[in-house]
A = this chain, B = another copy of it.
Amino acid sequence: MTWTGKRVLVTGGLGFLGSNLTRALVAEGATVRVLDALLDLYGGNRFNLEGVDAQVFVGDIRDADVVSRAVEGVDVVFHIAAQTSHVDSMSDPYTDLDMNCRGNLIVLDAVRRQGARLVYAGTRGQYGRLAYVPVDEKHPSNPTDIYGIHKQAAEQQCFLWGRVHGFPVTSLRINNTYGPRHQMKHGKYGILNWFIRLAMENRPITVYEPGQQLRDYNYIDDVTEAFLLAGSRNEAVGEAFNLGSGSSIRFVDLVDEIVKAAGTGKRVMIPWPKDREVIEVGDYLADISKIEQFLGWRPRVGLEDGLARTVAFYQAHQEEYWS
């Protein structure tokens, strides 16, 4: 399958994952629509698609009418719009449920009526605290926050609805991702990008002691490539795939890499705050052999290279992301 002439909808398409995917789809020759609610504090930013030939619907996935219109006539839907803050899911589980489960059902209803193909943006948070590392797709789901619980339920809604109503579904269980076009206003989602801003502004980056937990990061272009494969390959249908880098890095070392890439900033160690302890998931490393085997995907951009590209992007476009 080629993307040329394909009609595609990207929900959350003005956000980080969605806008990078939209740019790639347009470059591949697809006709792309974007649905984004541009909610305050969320990742949507019109600059993310500046100069890109995509039709933008400003609307919420919880509005069945706008979702219906956005999905009409489309071949493939990438459903990326979501509440994505772990912390906010704990302080306001109702909004998380409303967006990530009820909104998901609304998208599914439209996809079902249209008979489109669906790619769902899942998360490593569906696993929660790991029973073993590296985590494969068969690992049980024991989320440590409301966000993970609801994202897991929504993924199950997708596969069930696809099976019952006969449309193809793929889920990518997305790892921590960083790079250009991420929101840089606060650290609620995408802590790595937030740290990049702190370093670029020569501010201290606080790390909870001892910061030895293992983390796994992907550069955005690799995630975009995985989306393109997930939305086009036959082998992807009915499957959930982990994304990951194939190797992990200690949190303190990650911060040092950021400081090195920015050329400014510094690492400061502080005690672990009591209210964050219960949702800390421990070490994380994804087993990415399934997506390599099924779709031939492998991450290509290493951390040093990815951080350098990210810093360069925000140096060039700081005014579009800082405020």
**Could you tell me which A residues sit within 8 Å of B by CB distance?**
90, 93-94, 97-98, 101-102, 105, 138, 140-146, 149-150, 152-153, 156-157, 160, 163-164, 278-279
Contacts and interface: CB of A to CB of B under 8 A. Distances in A.
A97 B99 CA distance: 12
Given A97-B101, A101-B101, A141-B141, A90 B164 contact: yes
Contacts of A163: 278
- Number of identical protomers: 2
27 contacts: A90-B164, A93-B105, A93-B157, A94-B102, A94-B105, A97-B97, A97-B101, A97-B102, A97-B105, A98-B102, A101-B101, A101-B153, A140-B140, A140-B141, A141-B141, A142-B156, A143-B156, A143-B160, A145-B160, A146-B160, A149-B153, A149-B156, A149-B157, A149-B160, A150-B153, A152-B153, A164-B278
A150 B105 CA distance: 12
Contact of A160 (B97, B144, B153): B144
A90 B141 CA distance: 23
Nearest to A105: B93
A93 to B, nearest CB: 5
